[in-house]
Amino acid sequence: MGDLVGAIASYQTAISLQPNYADAHQNLAVALLKMGRVRDSLIGFQRAIELHERTNPLEAKRLRQMLQEMNLPL
């Protein structure tokens, strides 16, 4: 709830424990974006999209569309 630094640390821990956890990459990317760390967030979004492609292609497509609408290139 507003603790972006804490959220980022938690998502990074989750990713270190489960590197293929797409939602953790996605949530980390969102938190980084909220902090203005656009370049870092795009790396997270890219990884989330790659992982979602395997298990949830519709979510991967949704993420791509969201990023395009925000004019954030992958």
- Quote the Cα angle for 4-14-27, to 5°: 45
Q: What pLDDT digit, counting tens, does each position of 7-37 carry?
A: 999 999 999 999 999 999 999 999 999 999 9
Question: pLDDT band at residue 73, thresholds of 50, 70 and 90?
Answer: confident
C-alpha R_g of the chain = 12
Q: Give the separation between CA 56 and CA 16, rounded to whole angstroms.
A: 21
Q: Give the separation between CA 74 and CA 63, rounded to whole angstroms.
A: 11
Q: Give the separation between CA 8 and CA 3, rounded to whole angstroms.
A: 9
Pick the CATH number of 4-69 from 3.40.50.880, 1.25.40.10, 1.10.10.10, 3.40.50.10490: 1.25.40.10
Domain ranges of the chain: 4-69
Give the predicted TM-score (pTM) of the model.
Answer: 0.91
